[in-house]
Amino acid sequence: MTLVQEASTLDPAANRARLAELTPEGSDLVVFPEAFARDFGEPGSDLSAAAEPLDGPFATEAAKVAAERGTTVLAGMFEQGDDPARPVNTLVLRGAADAEYRKIHLYDSFGYRESDRIAAGPRTPVTADLAGFRLGLMTCYDLRFPELARALVDSGAEVLVVPAAWVAGPRKVDHWTTLVRARAIENTTYVVAVGQPGPRYSGHSIVVDPWGEVLAEAGEHAETLTVALDRDVLDEARRTNPSLANRRL
């Protein structure tokens, strides 16, 4: 699995070109950050012109690159929705698995109001099977809502994949790494969390195993990480700590 901690720009054509530049061969899954098709721009920017359909240039290029490299690509884009003024913040998964996840929890926090410019997706957990694991898809601010992670796990997810553009600021890296480890430990899952780099965003893309152990972590700047997930580690964690089975609802 490859985590691509790279910044997107305001130029969609340049971002599409970088999919091929940054996608290696030989990885089961290559994860790019949230909004990789086109950066959010200044807070409160109108994003309607950046929205594309799922058969548009970005998702089509992601599928092409995945096929050429023999891999599966996950990346964030703005999708045209029911409201022309407010697109949807969407993850597209293309390759050996094919799915879309539309961000449920919008970033109306820390002085931002994503909901002014983005429409929320349906409250439906999205999973996909890939390379012997079931992936559960989340985006950025979703990480702060444990009920979504648990709904994904109840749908069979064993790896939570979280593309993000986690805005930098006081305590933000600490929140990010703490929440990633918490979601891993409480759900006995792997968590693969990929952010855009600094200075605007927090970077620190990270992979945590079902015990809460950090397998890899990037710094603030652009970086690519490669990590192998081990089915035996997942199975052992769930046998030793059967917290999911011990729930009393």
Read off the pLDDT band of 227 (50, 70, 90).
Answer: very high
Instruction: Encode pLDDT of 134-187 as tens digits.
Output: 999 999 999 999 999 999 999 999 999 999 999 999 999 999 999 999 999 999
Domain presence at residue 248: no
Cβ(149)–Cβ(138) below 8 Å: yes
Average pLDDT over residues 18-37: 97
Domain presence at residue 40: yes
Spatial strand order of the sheet with 2-5 comes to 99-102, 88-94, 73-79, 30-31, 2-5, 223-226
236: amino acid identity, one letter: E
Q: What is the chain's mean pLDDT, rounded? A: 97
Count of the separate structural domains present in the chain: 1
Give the C-alpha distances (Å, rounded to integers) separating 214 from 56, 178, 191, 227: 37, 11, 10, 11
Domain presence at residue 246: no
- Which residues, at least 6 apart from 99, have a Cβ–Cβ distance to it below 8 Å? 92, 93, 126, 127, 128, 137
What residues make up the domain containing 164?
2-240
End-to-end CA distance of the chain: 35
Q: Supply the pTM of this predicted model.
A: 0.97
Domain presence at residue 245: no
Domain presence at residue 247: no
Domain presence at residue 212: yes
Instruction: Encode pLDDT of 186-209 as tens digits.
Output: 999 999 999 999 999 999 999 999
**pLDDT confidence of residue 249:** 83
Domain presence at residue 249: no
Cβ(68)–Cβ(38) below 8 Å: no
**The domain that contains 10 carries what CATH number?**
3.60.110.10
Read off the pLDDT band of 99 (50, 70, 90).
Answer: very high
Domain presence at residue 120: yes
State the catalytic residues. Answer: 34, 103, 140
